[in-house]
Amino acid sequence: MFIFGLAVVFKLLSIQFLQGDVYRAKATERVVKNDTIPANRGNVYSVNGNLLATSIPKYDIRLDALTSKAKTFEKYVKPLCDSLSKYSGKSSNKLEKDIRRARANRNRYFLLARNIGYSDYIRLRNFPLLNLGAFKGGLVVEQTTKREHPMGGIAQRTIGYERIDDKGNVTRPGIDGAFGVKYLRGVDGQRMKQQIGKGQWKPLSDANEIEPQDGYDVYTTIDVNIQDIAHHALLAQLEKYKADHGCVVVMETKTGEIRAISNLGRNKNGHYYERLNYAVGESHESGSTFKLMALAAAFEDKVTDTSDVVDTERGIISFYGKKVRDSKHGGYGKISVSKAFEVSSNTGIVKVIDQAYRKQPEKFVDRLYDMNLNNDLDLPIIGEPKPIIPDPRVKNGRWSGIALQWMAYGYGVSFTPLQTLTFYNAVANDGVMVKPRFLKEVKEFDKVIEPFEKEVINNQICSKETISKLQALLKNVVEKEHGTGHRLYSKNFSMAGKTGTCQKDYRDKEKLNYISSFAGYFPVENPKYSCIVVIHEPDKSVGYYGADVSGPVFKRVAQKIFTDTPIVDEVETLEVKMGAVEDEYQHYYKMSQKFKTIMPNLVGMPAMDALAFLENMQVDVKVKLDGNGIVKSQSVNKNTKLKNNQTVVLKAS
């Protein structure tokens, strides 16, 4: 017993003196901790300054019911409850009863309001008792931030976010995720908190120990007007064809700046939303849009020309028992290489490539490599896969006896929509391949922290002669009556492009589906924008050809961009010189200069133009449009002085 007693005394002395500092530190850690205050994440803006993503501060207001002295508590508890009653609508007597119970139960963390905005926070902290602060009044404020997307579901996946779960796993899709760590996140602050029991922590003071530093603001290349056009054009077509998912991307030709990118997928209820970033992250076989790359290689190697004649052989040719078929039963007979592309003859293009490269397929592959088709785009947005191009010199199981022929019309190769668009954009840009760009600049208030300039991937993907031929082919696809894209032709606005219809899951006939696409640019004379539309698994009973499914989205985007942008910018930016458009613009411009507060004669004007005219006058009028088309009558006579809030009714038909 004496020895046991000595051991106990020794252990007590050891804990007190030898290990005392360690245990005292642990006790302090359990009672007081340095808590992190997240910095406000920087905002994400469109190229024209519209807010795309922002961090909204939210506050929880609590009461330490034990902090205030009894005299102070009794003096202010009733006025506090009256103020809270006016704010929340709850009974003042019920609130007072709850707060008194919290004091009796020694509750130092009683919730008064949760997840409120800044204006409500300022209002509550000025209520009686709470306005005495943390030490005298028991005010406890906890601030969090919530990421908001003012545009809602439009481009939400591309704008992105950064989320960290309880286990520390980070998800960073889109622009917000890609540039969050470097620019948007900021520097967190710190604040001391004290444990008050039951796992709850209370700030030691009302002021932050170390103030957080907010993140920088990021200005993207997204144009909200074009984004809205692209989003709704794609959505309408997906709903019409009951497709699984699709994407559309609009790129500025000269700079590579992405003006719009929409990715919509269908949920189990049949509704479409921004599910995944298909344009950046989904690689698939290209189908007929790859025929442009195949002919670019052949033209550059001078193994064929647009005027050469190819025999489509009744629309069916075979290689090792595998058949290549044309969509037209019986084929096209003997036609030029140019027409084979314009009608999208599989047999014609395959025959050209087979005859030219059959003995040296690596030459064809090398030419594709020369045009940077084997490289990814090194995008900051995560998830971009590397392109797939079979190579006879690489032993990876992708090369076979029919690989060359199947590549010629877009099977066996795989690209993302954005990778395909980058090549088409290079053709529109006279051979200069530029990197797609999502950021314009990073700013802190009005100070530019880092600008982002155009990046050139390849100064000349192929000769000017080849580029000229490719441009003519794409133009003919739309303009010539036999072209697969001719139904998209408009005499008022020129565009060029290539349709694509690719089989999906073709190894299992029960699962057979289609990928419909259209890639091109507009206007033809001086391309301003390039665009790609890809729609997966349209309802085959409704339609699945690229010209029917994806083409109308391309046309809708092109026409809306051309007609809906401000008129002065239209003429200067797109540089389209057409007599009818010029006359219409001059008439519109003269009217806008003359009629600023006086009602003009809008009869005979397109209804949408008349609507825009009235909404842009110096007088704030309310416009009601009855019908659509051309304005037939107006409720206010010409030359009448307009007043603010006056209603003008336009009837159109």
Summarize the confidence of residues 389-394 as an average pLDDT.
96
Q: Tell me the C-alpha distance between 80 and 86, whole Å.
A: 10
Residue with more model confidence, 61 or 19: 61
Is 572 a residue whose pLDDT tops 70?
no
Q: Tell me the C-alpha distance between 294 and 388, whole Å.
A: 15
Give me the pLDDT at residue 593, please.
64
Summarize the confidence of residues 92-117 as an average pLDDT.
92
Is 409 a residue whose pLDDT tops 70?
yes
What residue ranges do the domains of the chain occupy? 56-145, 225-564, 579-652
Give me the pLDDT at residue 580, please.
47
Share of the chain above pLDDT 90, in %: 55
Summarize the confidence of residues 5-16 as an average pLDDT.
83
Note the residue count of the chain. Answer: 653
* pLDDT-wise least confident of 394-408, 566-580, 612-626: 566-580
Summarize the confidence of residues 525-541 as an average pLDDT.
94
Q: Tell me the C-alpha distance between 118 and 134, whole Å.
A: 18
Residue 410, phi then psi, degrees to nearest 5: 90, 20
Q: What is the DSSP string of 231-294?
A: HHHHHHHHHHHT-SEEEEEEEETTT-BEEEEEEEEE-TTS-EE--S-HHHH--B--GGGGHHHH
Give me the pLDDT at residue 146, please.
78
Q: How many CA within 13 A on the CB side of residue 494?
A: 18
How many Å from the N-terminal Cα to the C-terminal Cα in the chain?
A: 109
| Helix (H) / strand (E) containing 311 | strand 309-311
pLDDT tens digits, 138-171: 999 887 777 888 877 777 777 887 777 667 677 7
Q: Return the CATH number of the domain spanning residue range 579-652.
A: 3.30.10.20
| Identity at 575, one-letter amino acid code | E
Q: Tell me the C-alpha distance between 648 and 653, whole Å.
A: 17
Q: Which CATH fold would you assign to the domain 225-564?
A: Beta-lactamase (3.40.710)
pLDDT band at 570 (very low <50, low <70, confident <90, very high): very low
pLDDT tens digits, 219-273: 999 999 999 999 999 999 999 999 999 999 999 999 999 999 999 999 888 899 8
Contact (CB, 8 A) for 39 and 180: no
| SS3 state of residue 202 | strand
Burial class (CB in 10 A: 0-12, 13-18, 19+), 618: exposed
Contact (CB, 8 A) for 312 and 335: yes
Average pLDDT value over all residues in the chain: 87
Burial class (CB in 10 A: 0-12, 13-18, 19+), 28: exposed
Spatial CB neighbours of 414, under 8 Å, sequence gap ≥ 6: 283, 284, 285, 286, 385, 387, 388
Summarize the confidence of residues 615-642 as an average pLDDT.
80
Six-digit token string for 303: 């193994």
| SS3 state of residue 115 | strand
Give me the pLDDT at residue 567, please.
38
Give me the pLDDT at residue 590, please.
65
The pTM of the full predicted model, rounded to 2 decimals, is 0.73
Q: Tell me the C-alpha distance between 493 and 468, whole Å.
A: 20
Spatial CB neighbours of 4, under 8 Å, sequence gap ≥ 6: none
Is 526 a residue whose pLDDT tops 70?
yes
Which of 373, 424, 414 shows the shortest CA–CA distance to 284? 414
Which of 274, 529, 278 shows the shortest CA–CA distance to 416? 278
Give me the pLDDT at residue 293, please.
97
Is 565 a residue whose pLDDT tops 70?
no
pLDDT band at 377 (very low <50, low <70, confident <90, very high): very high
